[in-house]
Amino acid sequence: MALRPASITDRSVLHEELDAVRKRGWAVEREQNTEGVACVAVAVGYRIPASDAVSCSMPADRATPGHVQEVADAVTRHTAALARTLRREGIR
């Protein structure tokens, strides 16, 4: 059952989206959980498999492809820096 009209409920569509996330290195959702909200998320790569992530929410109407890419780039940079710090400090 869908939480929102944009929620992914078809298993094959979900698998396609997960494949795209793996290739891209980050996830994006638009109004799948909350009306008017989009979100970008990146796994923190200090554990294998990853068990933590950092996300950034934004108004869905401002989540143009260019803006989403900018946010994804920023979150990816900061998440990579966080992972380096955690590994350096011996946090696993």
Per the rule left: phi > 0, alpha: psi between -120 and 50, beta: everything else, 57 is beta
Task: Read off the DSSP letter of residue 62.
Answer: G
Place of tokens 């780039």: 73
What is the tens place of the pLDDT at every residue in 19-73? 999 999 999 999 999 999 999 999 999 988 889 999 999 999 999 999 999 999 9
Domain count of the chain?
1
Residue 2 has pLDDT above 90, yes or no: no
Residue 61 within any structural domain of the chain: yes
From residue 74, alpha-carbon distances to 21, 41, 55, 62, 77 in Å are 16, 11, 11, 16, 5
How many Cα neighbours within 13 Å face the side chain of 39? Answer: 14
The whole-model pTM stands at: 0.87
Q: What CATH number should be reported for the domain holding residue 69? A: 3.30.450.40
- 3 occurs within a structural domain: no
Q: Structural domain of residue 28, as residue ranges?
A: 11-88
